[in-house]
C-alpha cells in the first residue's frame, strides 16, 4: 500500500503534469517530471536569494554592493530569513519527492569507496550498478538535508535574537549557520559544474525533463537497464559501431 508521502507526491506530480509538458523524442528517456523540475528551480532560486542577501549581512565590507538589489542593507537583513525559509520549505518537498531514488544502497558505498578510480577511469561508462542517482549525488543530497536542519534551528535562534535565547546560543548559531552555508556553497559549485559542462547532456534533465539514452547508459547504467531492459554496455557498443556515440 502506498504511504501518505507517496500519495501526496503522486497527487502533486499529476497536478503539475496538467500545467506543463515533458516531451521525450526517439532515443530519449524521461528523467524528471514537471513537479520535480518546478521544485528544483524554486530550491535554486531561494538558495541564491538567501545566499546573496546573506553575503551582505555576513561580510558587509566586502559584499555591500549586493544589498541594493534587495532595497538596501536593512531590507536585505529583513528578507534573508524569509528567503531561507522558502529554501528550506521547497527543499523539504524535494526531499519527499526524491526519498526513494535517494535511498542509500550497497552500490553507493562501493561508488564512494572507488571514487578516485571512478573519476580517473578511462572507461566512458560509470560502474554498471550506478542507478538513478550515484553515490556522490546522494551524499550531496543528504548533506543539503542536514544543512537545512542546521539553517532552520540556528536561523530561528538568530531571528529571535539574544533577548529570547541568550548570548551563547546566538553566538554558536552564527558559527554553525555560516559553516553550513560555506559547505553547501562549495558543494553547489561542484554541482553546477557537473550538471552543465562537466557531464554534457545533464542540464536538459532539469529543463526539458528528458535525457538521451546515451547519457543514461553512460552516467547511470543500472537505471538505463531498469527502464529499457537493455544491457548498457551492449547498447553503447552498438551505437559506437553505428558511429553514434558522440551524440551523448
Which residues bind to ligand HEM, rule: CB under 6 A? 31, 40, 43-44, 47, 133, 137, 140-141, 144, 188, 191-192, 195-196, 202-203, 205-206
Closer to ligand HEM at the Cβ: 44 or 125? 44
Q: Could you count the other beta carbons within 10 Å of the beta carbon of residue 237?
A: 12
Q: How far is the CB of 161 from ligand HEM (least distance, A)?
A: 26
Tell the residue number behind the cell numbers 542509500, with chain if given. 104
Helix (H, G, I), strand (E, B) or coil at 60: helix
- The residues that bridge with 30 in the sheet, in sequence order, are 210
Using CB atoms within 10 Å of the CB of residue 106, give its burial: 0 to 12 exposed, 13 to 18 middle, 19+ buried. Answer: exposed
- Cβ contact 57:76 at 8 Å: yes
Q: How far is the CB of 147 from ligand HEM (least distance, A)?
A: 8
Q: How far is the CB of 227 from ligand HEM (least distance, A)?
A: 13
Closer to ligand HEM at the Cβ: 205 or 235? 205
Q: How far is the CB of 171 from ligand HEM (least distance, A)?
A: 26
Closer to ligand HEM at the Cβ: 103 or 167? 103
- Cβ contact 3:182 at 8 Å: no
Position of minimal CB gap to ligand HEM = 195
Closer to ligand HEM at the Cβ: 159 or 203? 203
Closer to ligand HEM at the Cβ: 195 or 228? 195
Q: How far is the CB of 1 from ligand HEM (least distance, A)?
A: 27
Q: CA end-to-end span of the chain, whole Å?
A: 38
Sequence-ordered strand ranges (E) for the chain: 28-30, 210-212
- Cβ contact 46:94 at 8 Å: no
Separation between Cα atoms, residue 185 and residue 81, nearest integer Å? 17
Q: How far is the CB of 203 from ligand HEM (least distance, A)?
A: 5
Closer to ligand HEM at the Cβ: 157 or 205? 205
Amino acid at each position: 500500500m502506498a504511504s501518505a508521502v507517496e500519495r501526496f507526491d503522486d497527487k502533486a506530480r499529476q497536478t503539475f503534469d496538467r500545467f506543463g509538458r515533458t516531451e521525450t523524442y526517439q532515443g530519449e528517456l524521461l528523467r524528471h517530471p514537471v513537479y520535480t523540475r518546478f521544485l528544483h528551480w524554486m530550491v535554486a532560486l531561494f538558495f541564491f536569494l538567501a545566499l546573496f542577501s546573506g553575503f551582505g549581512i555576513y561580510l558587509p565590507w566586502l559584499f555591500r554592493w549586493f544589498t541594493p538589489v534587495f532595497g538596501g542593507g536593512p531590507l536585505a537583513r529583513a528578507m534573508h530569513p524569509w528567503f531561507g525559509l522558502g529554501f528550506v520549505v521547497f527543499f523539504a518537498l524535494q526531499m519527499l519527492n526524491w526519498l526513494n531514488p535517494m535511498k542509500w544502497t550497497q552500490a553507493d558505498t562501493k561508488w564512494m569507496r572507488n571514487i578516485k578510480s571512478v573519476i580517473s577511469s578511462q572507461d566512458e561508462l560509470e560502474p554498471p550498478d550506478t542507478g538513478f542517482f550515484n553515490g556522490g549525488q546522494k551524499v550531496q543530497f543528504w548533506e543539503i538535508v542536514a544543512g537545512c536542519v542546521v539553517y532552520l534551528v540556528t536561523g530561528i535562534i538568530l531571528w529571535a535574537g539574544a533577548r529570547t535565547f541568550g548570548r551563547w546560543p546566538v553566538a554558536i548559531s552564527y558559527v554553525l549557520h555560516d559553516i553550513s552555508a560555506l559547505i553547501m556553497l562549495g558543494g553547489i559549485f561542484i554541482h553546477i559544474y557537473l550538471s552543465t559542462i562537466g557531464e554534457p547532456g545533464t542540464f536538459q534533465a532539469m529543463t526539458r525533463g528528458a535525457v538521451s539514452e546515451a547519457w543514461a547508459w553512460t552516467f547511470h547504467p543500472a537505471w538505463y537497464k531498469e527502464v529499457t531492459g537493455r544491457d548498457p554496455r551492449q547498447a553503447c557498443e552498438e551505437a559506437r559501431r553505428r558511429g553514434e556515440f558522440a551524440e551523448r
